Amino acid sequence: MLGAMLAGGLVWLLFPALVGQPLALAGIQGLCAALVSHLLRGPVWWLPIHLGFMPLAVLALGLGLPSWVWLAGFAVLLLVFWRTDRSRVPLYLTNAVASEAVAGLIPDEPVSVVDLGCGDGGLLRRLARARPDCRFVGFEHAPLTWAWAWLGCRGLPNIEIRFGDFWSHPLGGYALVYAFLSPVPMQRLWLKARAEMKPDALLVSNSFTVPDIEPESTVEVADARQTRLYCYRPAG
């Protein structure tokens, strides 16, 4: 939405001749959306999506495709993103470099770790291979990404992928709780963590801080998006 507003304003002010050219407008919108995503430190893999989505949509409109194609496309997007409008948490994936940093935060002894919104399960697979002595649980509420994670993790006996909402699941049994969500649910997550987590347990939030709460420590990840892992001890 912000990218579209920026594109509309730029075209109206600087390139009025492009107002009647949908593909050019779509390209400018894609550039603006990618720029906003970069400035907000969004995941790098979102950049080509921002750049190409609107131009491809404009091109597709000119193909005269049957209506079922659009329905199928909508169904796939729904299965991947599910009720993002309600959860306010988009699909974020933890990269390999950040996964190594998370692995370094796990205690030396065998413990249980939970990923609140595990996406495709990539983080859990890396952690499970690095720490076969630990137990890992992942929650995912989008059907297609849950199936992707479940299939990808089947060969690792120390991973459990659960379908559904993590809000009703108690956090008291985990030494480390990992979340890569969005700014919206962080206050609610903090209240849940304070009520349920053990005093020595660690809450690790990728990129998003808890409002008005100072983290115990911050891990600077040497990846392309300069990820920060904010570490809290909610019950400490």
Domain membership of residue 70 (yes or no) is: no
Same domain as 222, residue 123: yes
Q: Does 208 share its domain with 151? A: yes
SS3 for 134? Answer: coil
- Could you tell me if 123 and 164 lie in one domain? yes
Tell me if 141 is assigned to some domain.
Answer: yes
Span 137-183, pLDDT tens digits: 999 988 889 999 999 999 999 999 999 889 999 999 999 999 999 99
If asked whether residues 205 and 102 sit together in one domain, one would say yes
Residues 87-110: pLDDT tens digits?
556 678 899 999 999 999 999 999
Regarding whether 181 and 108 lie in a shared domain, the answer is: yes
pLDDT tens, 113-128? 999 999 999 999 999 9
Judge whether 84 lies within some domain: no
Tokens of 234: 């909610």
Q: What is the pLDDT of residue 81?
A: 61
More confident residue, 178 or 14: 178
Q: Which domain holds residue 225?
A: 96-232
What is the pLDDT averaged over residues 37-44?
Answer: 72
**Degrees, nearest 5: CA angle 23-29-32:** 145
pLDDT reported for residue 63: 73
Nearest to 206 by CA among 176, 179, 177: 179
Put residue 122 in one of left, alpha, beta given phi > 0 → left and psi -120 to 50 → alpha: alpha
Q: Which residues contact 77 (CB under 8 A, 6 or more apart)?
A: none
Q: How many domains are there within the chain?
A: 2
Domain shared by 46 and 133, yes or no: no
**Inside any domain, residue 154:** yes
Both 106 and 153 in one domain: the answer is: yes
Residue 125: the pLDDT is 98
Indicate if 222 and 163 belong to the same structural domain.
yes
Measured distance CA(214)–CA(228) in Å, rounded: 14
- Cβ(201)–Cβ(72) under 8 Å? no
Q: Please tell me the pTM assigned to this model.
A: 0.72
Q: If pLDDT is split at 50, 70 and 90, which confidence band does 13 have? A: low
pLDDT of residue 37: 78
Q: Give residue-wise pLDDT tens across range 45-79.
A: 677 777 887 887 777 777 776 776 666 665 566 55
Q: Are both 45 and 102 inside the same structural domain?
A: no
Residues 109 and 225 in one domain: yes
Question: Per residue in 181-234, pLDDT tens?
Answer: 999 999 999 999 999 999 999 999 999 999 999 999 999 999 988 999 999 999
Shared domain for 132 and 212, answered yes or no, is yes
223 part of a folded domain: yes
